[in-house]
Amino acid sequence: MIQDPKIGRTVIAKRVALELKDGDIVNLGIGIPTLVANYIPKGVTVFFQSENGILGMGPAPEPGYEHPNLTNAGGSPVTFLPGAVAFDSATSFGLIRGGHVDITVLGGLQVDEEGHLANWMIPGKLIPGMGGAMDLVTGAKKVIVAMTHVEKGGVPKIVKKCTLPLTSVRRVNLIVTDLAVIEVTEKGLLLKEIAPETTLDEVLKYTAASLIVPEKVPTMPVTL
Amino acid sequence: MIQDPKIGRTVIAKRVALELKDGDIVNLGIGIPTLVANYIPKGVTVFFQSENGILGMGPAPEPGYEHPNLTNAGGSPVTFLPGAVAFDSATSFGLIRGGHVDITVLGGLQVDEEGHLANWMIPGKLIPGMGGAMDLVTGAKKVIVAMTHVEKGGVPKIVKKCTLPLTSVRRVNLIVTDLAVIEVTEKGLLLKEIAPETTLDEVLKYTAASLIVPEKVPTMPVTL
Amino acid sequence: MKNKVVSVEQAIEMIPDGAVLMIGGFLGDGTPELLVDGLIKAGKKNLTVIANDTAFPDKGIGKLIVNKLVKKVIVSHIGTNPETQKQMIEGTLEVELVPQGTLAERVRAGGFGLGGILTPTGVGTVVENGKQKITINGKEFLVETALRADFALIKAKKADFLGNLVFNYTARNFNPLMAFAANVTIVEVEELVPVGGIDPNEVHVPHAVVDYIVRGNAK
Amino acid sequence: MKNKVVSVEQAIEMIPDGAVLMIGGFLGDGTPELLVDGLIKAGKKNLTVIANDTAFPDKGIGKLIVNKLVKKVIVSHIGTNPETQKQMIEGTLEVELVPQGTLAERVRAGGFGLGGILTPTGVGTVVENGKQKITINGKEFLVETALRADFALIKAKKADFLGNLVFNYTARNFNPLMAFAANVTIVEVEELVPVGGIDPNEVHVPHAVVDYIVRGNAK
């Protein structure tokens, strides 16, 4: 098990980045998903869509180059890459809900055995609102959850059944954590890879859902 | 009764034009309604909207100035007036259905005592389709029907109850014909004006619906 | 990255007989004529066409009707093409009429991942036959369902190599809506510019929905 | 013809206490700050605000919350403004949360004369509570109803004197949608150009829906 949380987050971002294919339209949520942009494989061109109304978003500008009308969904200044487009919120979610976004990477509070994600509220504690998450999970072609495997204190986030309010009844496709890569299949949660410096026992210990474990489970193809 | 059909149509167009107020957004149907554009009162600026996606449409261009991508809803070349805008069909009907068009002027096959208009098909005979008429009648702030008072052969077009398929259950506001101006009120069809060279008896004779006839009915304020 | 630019022939080759096509244009203004001619040259059959109208016998979608490539049209009117009415009466062409504003919203809904929209247009008329109605705050609306197609054949004024599109004046009409609503979107363009050659504020359709680009007459 | 250009004060004077406002912007980007400041200066009360979010305490719509002008918000999230959460917990501010894409479509429906839309978003979640559901081709959709407002306060980059609007980059967001959906639409613009000074292809919102224009900081 990776001890340093920062390295853990990096491993997650690097592993998710390997899922991106040349030409993909990609929407990254805030938090860990944002880091994915730093690890796009060589030779792969992807286009970042942000729900506030842009496709072809580039990284943060150099100091002094910030423009108040060019921001990401977190409100931070970004840049245009060549071929970038701006559009209104209805069109932005037309792209999202209409299946024109190839991959969305989102953070998670819980994912359950059925592949249902909860990531927008903790009743009585944290009610930030769903923002665009419900539309993204419902509409994107492929949904990847990028999150730490456990909460602080070691409480599993991959559970039998979500106790927190669901984001969508549409199943997510892939869960990438600092311990494992898990695919949501018709038959259940399939353990695909284990993180570096991590054992199968650790994965099972920190997962509260049943996992389908193949005979051989490879290590994530990422460097620490 | 005006005998010359061409003069009759001109009277209708001139009278409808008096309904237009400064700043109005106006949609004109094909046929007689199109003629209205020729008689806008002095000092009144209106903006013509066409459902194929333009607001601020000007008259036909001079010969040689036709552009294939600047046409009206009848497919004929038009021009831009200053401040003209182009938009897609969804936006065009957003303007229409959303009540942003102040006045639509449409032709009619029948209008009945309840103010219901039929103007898009004659079963078994003529099925051109409704085009934008159903949206226009349902959504425009004010609907004016501009039509000859009778069919060829003298058959009344203002009837007790439409026998032809309705365009909308939304009542039209005003009917302008070559015989009369009739307002659709809560209590029924109110005769407002009679055309030049026309008698009350003629209006009543050629109208198959009950009319509310005030003691004094003025003549249409138009010159032949 | 995939090069989206193809020839008319390559584009047409992808389209099988019996396909459902959305075709842009309003009485021919904004219709991709090269793609229409390509369909005719290739002798496609049994097409279903979703479009605003069937234009004129010698223009735009009208040519597909005259050449009998089409078994069904979903349109808002057919008044300008006598051949459409003739084939309808003969029973060789099925015509489904949809109010123009409803057609625009149904196409948009199909592309935007909506199941449909609620419209007051058509309530109390023959258009409501067979449709669900919903009352909201005492007002009745028709449930009009989303439309999708196998292919959208659209026409733009300008594209960059990614497929960002700009339309021209009244040639815009249904084209941007249809771009979103098909499994494969093929655009015929008059002008192809380098990536980055269009102001991000001025793009009408983002490249995410465009699959193939065909260069039009003005290369 | 009516001159649509008014001062901030004239614009704010039209808005009564208790009004329902749509306000453009996404975390403050694209929010008409002069109009927001005008509301605060005039001490308006009991406003209902429909917007994407409540921004930050010192920016955009956030300032209306901090200054307690608002009794209810209909928004997609409030996570960036602790004051909104505080007032919600205290019970002085009602918060209705709507998925962002649904909010966009509900506003658009209000402006486009639709009763609402059918969306898959929210099916099977707490969002569906109290809503009608419709099944189309075996798939469930929520009926999400149209939203309208008394006033839309929006921000554009550029207007002509008629009120044709052009927005800038990510400051566009909800602004064009809200322009259609209010009884009175007031736009704060950075640049005012002569009528005819904007290419008809590049207008984002046609003047038909704009009632008043307020010149922004950059006159």
> What's the rounded mean pLDDT across residues C12-31?
98
Which of 113-172 (C) contact A at CB < 8 A?
Answer: 113-114, 160-162, 164
CB-based contact B165 C123, cutoff 8 Å: no
Element at C40 (helix H, strand E) = helix C33-42
Q: Provide the pLDDT for residue A116.
A: 98
Tell me: the pLDDT tens digits for C142-178?
Answer: 999 999 999 999 999 999 999 999 999 999 999 999 9
Q: Determine the residue of chain B that is closest to C140 in CA distance.
A: B169
- Whether residue C24 lies within 8 A of chain A, CB to CB, comes out as no
B24 CB-side CA count, 13 A: 22
- Of D115, D139, D202, nearest to C141 by CB-CB distance is D115
Q: What is the C-alpha separation between C154 and C142, in angstroms, rounded?
A: 29
CA distance D138 to chain C (A): 11
Our measurement of the distance from residue C181's CA atom to the centroid of its chain's CA atoms, rounded to an integer in Å, reads: 9
- The total number of residues shown for chain D amounts to 219
Question: With a cut of 0.95, is the ipTM above it?
Answer: yes
Question: Which among B120, A221, D203, B71 has a CA at the least distance from the CA of C97?
Answer: B120
- Report CA-CA distances (Å) from C72 to C97, D21, D114: 11, 46, 28
Per-residue pLDDT of chain B (224 residues; tens, 9 = 90+): 999 999 999 999 999 999 999 999 999 998 999 999 999 999 999 999 999 999 999 999 999 999 999 999 999 999 999 999 999 999 999 999 999 999 999 999 999 999 999 999 998 888 899 999 999 999 999 999 999 999 989 999 999 999 999 999 999 999 999 999 999 999 999 999 999 999 999 999 999 999 999 999 999 999 98
Please determine, for residue A12, whether its predicted confidence score (pLDDT) is greater than 90.
Answer: yes
CB B195 within 8 A of CB B11: yes
At A84, the amino acid letter reads: A
**Distance, CA of D187 to CA of D213 (rounded, Å):** 5
In chain A, the N- to C-terminal Cα span, in Å, equals 12
Mind listing the pLDDT tens digit for each residue in A191-224? 999 999 999 999 999 999 999 999 999 999 999 8
Determine the distance in angstroms separating the CA of D175 from the nearest CA of chain C, rounded to an integer. 14
Chain C contacts in chain A segment 69-88 (CB below 8 A): 80, 82-87
* H or E element in which residue C88 lies: helix C82-90
Query: Taking the domains of chain D in order of start, what are their residue ranges?
Result: 5-215
Mention every residue, 6+ apart, whose C-beta is less than 8 A from residue A208. Answer: A156, A158, A159, A160
Q: Do A94 and C1 touch (CB under 8 A)?
A: no
Partners of C167 on chain B (C-beta within 8 Å) are: 86, 88
Q: Inspect the interface and report whether the beta carbons of C206 and A22 lie closer than 8 Å.
A: no
> By a Cβ cutoff of 8 Å, what residues of chain D touch chain C?
105, 109, 112-120, 132, 134, 136, 139, 141, 143, 145-146, 166-169, 172, 200-202
- pLDDT the model gives residue A198: 97
Chain D neighbors of A69, CB-CB under 8 A: 29-30, 157, 168-171
Domains, chain B, ordered by start: 5-212 (3.40.1080.10)
Which chain D residues are Cβ-neighbours of C117 within 8 angstroms? Answer: 109, 114, 116-118
Residue with token string 């659709």:
B184
Share above pLDDT 90 across residues of chain A, in percent, rounded to a whole number: 96
Q: Are B78 and B60 in contact (CB under 8 A)?
A: yes
Q: Residue C209 pLDDT > 80, yes or no?
A: yes
Which residue of chain C has the CA closest to A24? C208
| Average pLDDT over chain A, rounded to an integer | 97
What is d(CA B207, CA B201) in angstroms, rounded to the nearest whole number? Answer: 10
Sign for the pseudo-dihedral over CA of D115, D120, D126, D128: positive
DSSP string covering chain B, please?
A: ----HHHHHHHHHHHHHTT--TT-EEEE-SSHHHHGGGGPPTT---EEEETTTEEEEE-PPPTT---TT-B-TTS-B-EEEEEEEE--HHHHHHHHHTT--SEEEE--SEEETT--EE-S-BTTTB----TTHHHHHHHSSEEEEE--SB-TTS-BSEESS--SPPS-SSPPSEEE-SSEEEEEETTEEEEEEE-TT--HHHHHHT-BS-EE--S--PBPS---
Core vs surface per residue C116-153: b (16+ CB within 10 A) or e:
bbbbbbbbbbebbeeeeebeeeeeebbbbbbbbbbbbb
Using CB atoms within 10 A of its CB, is residue D93 exposed (0-12), middle (13-18) or buried (19+)?
buried
Determine the pLDDT at residue C218.
47
A touches B (3+ CB pairs < 8 Å)?
no
Determine the topology of domain C5-215 in CATH.
Glutaconate Coenzyme A-transferase (3.40.1080)
pLDDT digits (tens, 9 = 90+) for A15-57: 999 999 999 999 999 899 999 999 999 999 999 999 999 999 9
Residues D69-93, mean pLDDT to the nearest whole number: 97
CB atoms within 10 A of CB B128: 18
**Residue to test with chain D: of B47, B85, B136, most D Cβ within 10 A:** B85
A97 vs D123: CB contact, 8 Å cut-off? no
Q: How many residues are given for chain C?
A: 219
Listed in sequence order, the residues at least 6 apart from A153 whose beta carbon sits closer than 8 Å to its beta carbon are none
Please list every residue in chain D whose beta carbon sits closer than 8 Å to the beta carbon of residue B23: 1-2
pLDDT at A124: 83
What is the distance in angstroms between the Cα of D113 and the nearest Cα belonging to chain C?
7
pLDDT at B127: 84
Q: Kindly give, in sequence order, each residue whose CB lies less than 8 Å from that of residue D195, ignoring residues fewer than 6 positions away.
A: B82, B83, D160, D161, D162
Residue B175: name the closest of B193, B161, B162 by CA: B193
Q: Is B51 assigned a catalytic role?
A: yes
What values do phi and psi take at B134, rounded to 5? Answer: -65, -40
Is D145 in contact with C147 (CB distance < 8 Å)? no
How many Å apart are CA C52 and CA C166, to the nearest integer? 20
Residue-level pLDDT at D218: 47
How is residue C8 annotated by DSSP?
A: H
- According to DSSP, residue C109 is labeled H
Please report the pLDDT score of residue A126 as a whole number: 83
Nearest residue of D to residue B43, measured between CA atoms: D1
Query: In this predicted model, what pLDDT tens digit does every residue of A50-78 receive, in sequence order?
Result: 999 999 999 999 999 999 999 999 999 99
Search chain A and give the residue with CA nearest C199.
A85
Neighbours of A72 (CB within 10 A): 22
D195 touches B at CB < 8 Å? yes
Strand order in the sheet with C139-145: C133-136, C139-145, C116-119, D116-119, D139-145, D133-136
Residue A104 tokens read as: 């969305």
- Predicted model pTM: 0.98
- Chain A residues whose CB is inside 8 A of the D175 CB are 88
Token pair belonging to A126: 């944290």
Q: Which of B87, B74, B95 is nearest to B30 (CA)?
A: B74
Instruction: Say how many CA atoms lie within 13 Å of A107 toward its Cβ.
Output: 17
Q: How far off is chain D from C212, nearest CA to CA, in Å?
A: 23
Q: Which of D164, D200, D206 sits opposite B80 (nearest CB)?
A: D200
Give pLDDT, residue B125.
83
Contact present, B and C (at least 3 Cβ pairs less than 8 Å): yes
Taking a C-beta distance cutoff of 8 angstroms, is the pair D23, D188 a contact?
no
- For residue range D176-203, what is the model confidence (pLDDT) as tens digits? 999 999 999 999 999 999 999 999 999 9
Q: Count CB neighbours of C41 within 10 A.
A: 12
Q: On the CB side of A40, how many CA atoms lie within 13 Å of its CA?
A: 18
Nearest to D169 among A69, A96, A170 (CB): A69
Contact residues on chain A for D77, CB-CB shorter than 8 A = 128-131
Which residue from D minimizes the CA distance to B55?
D206
Nearest CA in chain D to B57: D200
Cβ within 8 Å, pair D113-C136: no
Query: Smallest Cβ distance to D208: which of B22, B25, B93?
Result: B25
Q: What is the 3-state secondary structure (H, E, C) of D132-177?
A: CEEEECCEEEEEEECCCEEEEEEEEEEEECCCCEECCHHHCECHHH
| Residue C219: band (very low, low, confident or very high) from pLDDT cuts 50, 70, 90 | very low
Distance CA A28, CA C205 (A): 21
Residue D190 is predicted with a pLDDT of 96
Q: What is the pLDDT of residues B22-39, one digit of tens each?
A: 999 999 998 999 999 999
Give CA–CA dist C67/C59, Å, rounded. Answer: 12
CA dihedral defined by C194, C198, C200, C204, rounded to 10 degrees? Answer: -110
Contacts of B68 in chain C (CB under 8 A): 29, 171
Neighbours of chain D (3+ CB pairs under 8 A): A, B, C
Q: How many CB pairs under 8 A join C and D?
A: 74
Any idea which residues of A carry the catalytic annotation? Answer: 51
Question: Could B131 and C102 be called an inter-chain contact, meaning their C-beta atoms sit closer than 8 Å?
Answer: no
SS3 content of chain A, % helix, strand, coil (to 5): 20, 30, 50
C139-145 vs C133-136, strand pairing mode: antiparallel
Which residue, among B178, B162, B173, has the nearest Cα to B140 in the 3D structure?
Answer: B173
Nearest CA of chain B to the CA of D103: how many Å?
Answer: 17
User: What interhelical angle do D100-111 and A89-97 show, nearest 10?
Assistant: 120
Strand partners, B181: B176, B193
Report pLDDT digits (tens) over A68-126: 999 999 999 999 999 999 999 999 999 999 999 999 999 999 999 999 999 999 988 88
pLDDT at D40: 98
Strand-pairing partners, residue D152, are D22, D185
Q: Which chain C residues are Cβ-neighbours of B134 within 8 angstroms? A: 99, 101-102, 121-122, 125, 127
